[in-house]
Amino acid sequence: MWDEVDPSAPVKYGAVIAVTVICVVLLRKWIAGGVCRSSVQLRGKTVLVTGANTGIGKETCRDMARRGARVVMACRDLTRAARAADEIRQATGNSNIVVRHLDLASMYSVRELAKEFTASEDRLDILINNAGVMMCPKWLTEDGFETQLAVNHLGHFLLTNLLLGKLKSSAPSRVVNVSSIAHKGGKIQFDDLFFAKRPYNSLVSYRQSKLANVLFSRELARRLKGTGVTSYSLHPGVIRTELTRHVETWFPMLRAILSAPSMLLMKTPTQGAQTSIYCAVTPGLEHKSGSYFSDCAMTETAPEGRDDVVAKRLWKESARLVGYIEKD
């Protein structure tokens, strides 16, 4: 004898599916976070973005181009950068996109870019220090620096200082430093910045470099007070980008396990770029120079990110390491 079919079953299943879809949509909206609503145009302005050929750097360039800016994409891989630049030109109709070589693991490369930029560009309205590496093996750069601190902090420290003349002459101008919530729990180990004395830990190193971003931005704001140049640091969110490639290499199963959840639980590069864009273009942020942002809103850093004594010491040590002599 056939079991009777519940005539309400399709309705129940439909309701479950509908509720599931609504929950997924709401979850994705929550994960996406803040959106930059500013309609500010940047015609006649010049924006320099590091690490611009992929991820949030590329999406930041796309947004700046849509606003009419001259966009200088500073990248290590010129082939990929050229492809990204062509894509942005076609998508935005803005042909004023320039690619420049920059390897932040080389202080020589940083100096060469700064020299080239200063000689060829009339102004610099927005500098977005976006490039970074995450939890890579213990590699030393050609200058003898541990790679994460070199790329994430020291290279950007030197680049920013070498371009201060352009930033000041173009004021009001902004410096945007892409940090991370990973700065929480970080510590600047002045007696062993490059893990020469202690066992290397890629996460500890990453946290140190991201804390350095926050402290650098804070000290930069203090030093530039009254010049018209302002500085901001930010957490872009957890994003689906190539930044996690080293972690996935160590744990090959991780990529397979997390690939599906990541589609649901991580921001897209476009969503991840929103806070960088917000800090770059939103009017009225001048009085918030030195502050830290997340999801397009100012938020408080971890206590270690507000230590001005450490920030000043880090500045002096960074200047010594990269050979930067400040002008009076």
Fill in the amino acid letter for 69: A
Return all residues near 186 (Cβ < 8 A) that are at least 6 apart. Answer: 207, 208, 210, 211, 302, 304
Q: Which helix (H) or strand (E) holds 234?
A: strand 229-235
Residue 20: strand pairing partners = none
Peptide bond before residue 252 is cis, with ω within 30 degrees of 0:
no
190: number of Cβ within 10 Å: 10
* Pairing state between β 292-294 and 297-299: antiparallel
Establish whether 206 is a catalytic residue: yes
Return all residues near 51 (Cβ < 8 A) that are at least 6 apart. Answer: 57, 74, 75, 104, 130, 131, 132
Please answer whether residues 101 and 39 qualify as being in contact, where contact means their C-beta atoms are separated by less than 8 angstroms.
Answer: no
Alpha-carbon distances, residue 116 vs 66, 110, 171, 199, 309 (angstroms): 25, 10, 20, 39, 34
Alpha-carbon distances, residue 159 vs 9, 103, 231, 243 (angstroms): 64, 11, 14, 21
Q: What is the rounded distance in angstroms from the CA atom of residue 140 to the CA atom of residue 96?
A: 36
Active-site annotation holder among 13, 108, 200, 206? 206
HSE of 213 in the Cβ direction (CA atoms, 13 Å)? Answer: 34
Based on its alpha-carbon atoms, the radius of gyration of the chain, rounded to whole angstroms, reads: 22
DSSP 131-183: ----S--S-B-TTS-BHHHIIIIIHHHHHHHHTHHHHHHT-SEEEEEE--GGG
User: Which residues are known catalytic residues?
Assistant: 206
